Amino acid sequence: MNNEKVKDQTSKSKRNRKLLLLILLMLLIISQVIALQGNGAFLNKSVDPDSVNKHSITLDDLKAVNDDLNEVRESLNDINSNFELTDDHVEVEKVEAKKEEVKEVEVKNLESKPAVVPVVPVVKKPAPVVVIKDKENIKPKQNISENKKVELIEKSPLAVIPVPVSSDDETIPSVEKTADEVNIVVETKPAYIKHDTNGKSLEDNNEHGTCVQDTKNGLMWEVKSEDDTMRNSNNLYSWFNPDTKTLKGITDGGRCKGDADCDTHAYVEAMNKQNYCGHNDWSLPTREQMQTLVNFAGSDIKTTINNKYFPRTMPSWYWTSTENRDRDKFAWYVLFRNGVELNDLKERPKHVRLVRVVMAEQSNR
Amino acid sequence: MMMKYIHFYKFIVTIFCVIIAQTIYAVPPDCPATLTANLTQDLDFGDYVGTNGGTITIDTAGVRTETGGVLLVGGAVSAATYVFSNSDSRCLNRWIRISAIPNSITISGPVSMTVNNFITSAAADGDKFKISTTDTVTIGADLITNNAQNQGPYTGNFTIDFNY
């Protein structure tokens, strides 16, 4: 009676195992079909375009995968055929894991453009490991009873798991587009822009500019002349400012051609009165403004200024409006022989070059 | 006997989970060819005064710097700017690779000048980025100026490709 019961249980166990193995085999096939078709996505996954050409597959690779599947099937069949329960003991079978790596394959002639290739990841096949384990110590000739526990434990799934090389390069980009054309724009400006007597800008090669505008800072400068007017390059003027709170300097203390008195204040007044270069806001430059004209790379080795735009510049001293804070009889000047700033008594005559500050919007013209 | 069935069903559920997981992981969705890249800003080096040869650099943030005999004097300055638009959720987080970035090009004007060292704002990731719905990519470069560069406007152009 007891033997019949055991046989009945053994028979049921065998049926269950056969059913299980059949299901496993079907699942294996299904998983392979899904992985190879590559069109059953569930989630959005990012695609690294750099993965192009790295994991393409060839017919040989597909054959290799197929061979691997056959091996798995054979292993399962072996398990099924070798496993038997006897009255005496429970036989333990263990199928060693087969560790096999499928080669990475590169298709070299896809170098230049992204190709549409089916998604076939590099396959690492975790081998099926089925262990039939007896939880109790089994003694020879011991009868199997109900409390004899026999179970199947899966150590790794019986599926062929595609293992991507990295998390980001699973598929291959299939779309390539050319974006809109980018224009590159740049404009080379002259260091200074020449203007005529009315303030109208001139071509850079025009020799008749009467004033120039610095393209870097917008300052507009007087250009000295050769004629017998107060703009003559040889004219000398004494420093005078009726609005200063310190020593005002001296009027008409220089030597100059033209109608104006030979001092800086009279010169500025006369130039604004005649609307020189189309403007009436000319002034004596500050020390800092005058220093912007100093150019040691000037073409004339005698003067430290750009002679192309400031012809007839004397290698001499030019007044600024900046007074010496410590000595009220002194004001600063720039020596264009070497670009040095110095100060001198206001009464001593020097050259003058006027400046005006151009508004920002005007300087961009 | 009952334990056998419990373990059996555990096993089956595990197998299904693994299959679903591997399918999700391995097979990304198709991304239709609806991504667009619109140029919203040209690459503009602005105005400069050349005393000697030098270099003007526009970085990907549109900041201009100079080296050598170059004086920057204003003008509009900008890095080239593309806006990538994606209206399809299937393309979210898709890698977009920018390719065909020129190594060096010549722009024309009174005399020619060279523009090189193009760099994209996605350079840190190998000129690729993951698209969301709207993404901006900027491109900077170096402008090589020559001695006594004749004054005037200089222009040129280039294109880029992108794929996904």
State the pLDDT at residue A269: 96
Q: pLDDT-derived band of residue A161, with 50, 70 and 90 as boundaries? A: very low
Q: pLDDT-derived band of residue A54, with 50, 70 and 90 as boundaries? A: very low
For chain B, how many structural domains are there in total? 1
State the pLDDT at residue A159: 35
How confident is the prediction for chain A on average, in pLDDT? 71
B157 → closest Cβ in A34, A183, A190: A183
State the pLDDT at residue A319: 97
State the pLDDT at residue A61: 65
In a domain, B10, yes or no: no
CA distances from A317 to A57, A336, A345, B12 (A): 83, 6, 12, 100
**Is A175 in the B-facing interface, judged by CB distances under 8 Å?**
yes
Q: pLDDT-derived band of residue B2, with 50, 70 and 90 as boundaries? A: low
Min Cα distance B67 → chain A (Å) is 15
As a three-state string, the secondary structure of A63-95 is HHHHHHHHHHHHHHHHHHHHCCECCCCECCCEC
Mean pLDDT calculated for residue range A121-150: 38
Of A266 and B94, the structure prediction assigns the larger pLDDT to A266
Chain B neighbors of A44, CB-CB under 8 A: 28-29, 89-94
Q: pLDDT-derived band of residue B3, with 50, 70 and 90 as boundaries? A: low
Chain A neighbors of B151, CB-CB under 8 A: 187-190, 204
CB contact under 8 A, B153 and A162: no
State the pLDDT at residue A286: 96
Mean pLDDT calculated for residue range B48-69: 90
Residue A91 has pLDDT above 60, yes or no: no
In a domain, B26, yes or no: no
In a domain, B138, yes or no: yes
Q: How many CB atoms sit inside 10 A of residue A43's CB?
A: 10
As a three-state string, the secondary structure of chain B is CHHHHHHHHHHHHHHHHHHHHHHHHHCCCCCCCCCEEEEEECEEEEEEEEEEEEEEEECCCCCEEEEEEEEEEECCCECEEEEEECCCHHHCCCEEEEECCCCEEEEECCCCEEEEEEEECCHHHCCEEECCCEEEEEEEEEEEECCCCCCEEEEEEECCEEEC
In a domain, B108, yes or no: yes
In a domain, B61, yes or no: yes
Residue A362 has pLDDT above 50, yes or no: no
How confident is the prediction for chain B on average, in pLDDT? 86
In a domain, B20, yes or no: no
State the pLDDT at residue A170: 43
Residue A333 has pLDDT above 90, yes or no: yes
Please identify among residues 218-247 of chain A the ones whose CB lies closer than 8 Å to any CB of chain B: none
Of B19 and A11, the structure prediction assigns the larger pLDDT to A11
Of A336 and A117, the structure prediction assigns the larger pLDDT to A336
In a domain, B21, yes or no: no
Query: Whole domain around residue B133: which residue ranges?
Result: 33-163
State the pLDDT at residue A145: 38
Residue A38 has pLDDT above 60, yes or no: no
Residue A182 has pLDDT above 90, yes or no: yes
In a domain, B25, yes or no: no
Q: What is the pLDDT of residues A279-306, one digit of tens each?
A: 999 999 999 999 999 988 755 678 899 8
CB contact under 8 A, B18 and A176: no
Pairing of strands B43-58, A182-189: parallel
State the pLDDT at residue A216: 79
Chain B neighbors of A9, CB-CB under 8 A: 1
State the pLDDT at residue A6: 67
Out of A141-145, A265-269, B85-89, give the one with best mean pLDDT: A265-269
Residue A84 has pLDDT above 70, yes or no: no
B22 → closest Cβ in A13, A159, A181: A159
Mean pLDDT calculated for residue range A133-148: 39
Q: What is the pLDDT of residues A96-127, one digit of tens each?
A: 434 434 343 333 333 333 333 333 333 333 43
Mean pLDDT calculated for residue range A44-50: 51
